[in-house]
């Protein structure tokens, strides 16, 4: 998405699916934004060093970056969401609670993050902390830099991008989903041929 200048603005586990080969697929671009200045008259992307700044408070609480609540954010907001997702994958629970209070809980959880180093590899913690920086300018926003993180040292990115390797988890084949109800296929009461006498007798 970064190479296409797309800001998703609603990254969360529910919007990340696994395809038949075990590769991740990002879905639900209904809230995403694309920098219009980076497209020519034919709709093709052209290079630019400027980033689109967004002000709409959209997305899902618990995954939105702090600056989204304040207004005025860029692609760095997606990287914060990525950090929250990775945290949830490592620790097996959401980073924030359901009754999410942006300012207070973000501060509390960032302090907590540094106290749970025994739960995961140091490289994984380094990755998450780099993505969950309160200041967007200090946050890790470079995909190249993320790929170089020591946690991914065994990943062959070229093969992965070309889908030459299968993912670690292969979902079972999808089963056909029926659109009928069994109750509707059961025999009903016998039909009675109505005659004029039956009709007149009821009246």
- Quote the distance between the C-alpha of residue 41 and its chain's center: 31
Distance in angstroms (rounded) separating the CA atoms of residues 86 and 22 = 17
Distance in angstroms (rounded) separating the CA atoms of residues 173 and 110 = 40
Q: What angle do CA 26, 139, 115 make, to 5 degrees?
A: 95
For residues 120 and 93, the answer to whether their CB atoms sit within 8 Å is no
Cβ within 8 Å of residue 198, ≥6 positions away: 192
Can 10 be counted among the known catalytic residues? yes
Active-site pick, 10, 28, 98, 108: 10
Nearest to 95 by CA among 59, 127, 63, 130: 63
- Supply the residues annotated as catalytic: 10
């Amino acid at each position: 998405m970064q190479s296409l200048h797309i800001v998703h603005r609603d990254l969360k586990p529910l919007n990340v699916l696994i395809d038949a080969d075990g590769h991740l697929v990002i879905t639900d671009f209904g809230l995403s934004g694309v920098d219009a200045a980076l497209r020519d008259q034919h709709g093709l992307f052209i290079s630019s060093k400027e980033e689109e700044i967004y002000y709409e408070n959209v997305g899902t609480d618990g995954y939105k970056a702090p600056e989204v609540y304040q207004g005025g954010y860029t692609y760095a907001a997606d990287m914060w969401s990525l950090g929250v997702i990775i945290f949830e994958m490592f620790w097996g629970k959401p980073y924030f609670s359901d009754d999410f209070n942006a300012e207070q809980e973000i501060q509390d959880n960032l302090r907590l993050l540094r106290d749970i180093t025994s739960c995961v590899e140091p490289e994984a913690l380094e990755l998450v902390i780099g993505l969950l920086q309160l200041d967007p300018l200090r946050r890790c926003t470079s995909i190249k830099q993320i790929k170089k993180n020591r946690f991914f040292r065994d990943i062959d990115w070229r093969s992965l991008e070309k889908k030459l390797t299968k993912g670690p988890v292969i979902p079972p084949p999808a089963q056909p989903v029926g659109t009928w109800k069994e109750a509707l296929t059961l025999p009903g009461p016998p039909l009675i041929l109505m005659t004029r006498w039956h009709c007149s007798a009821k009246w």
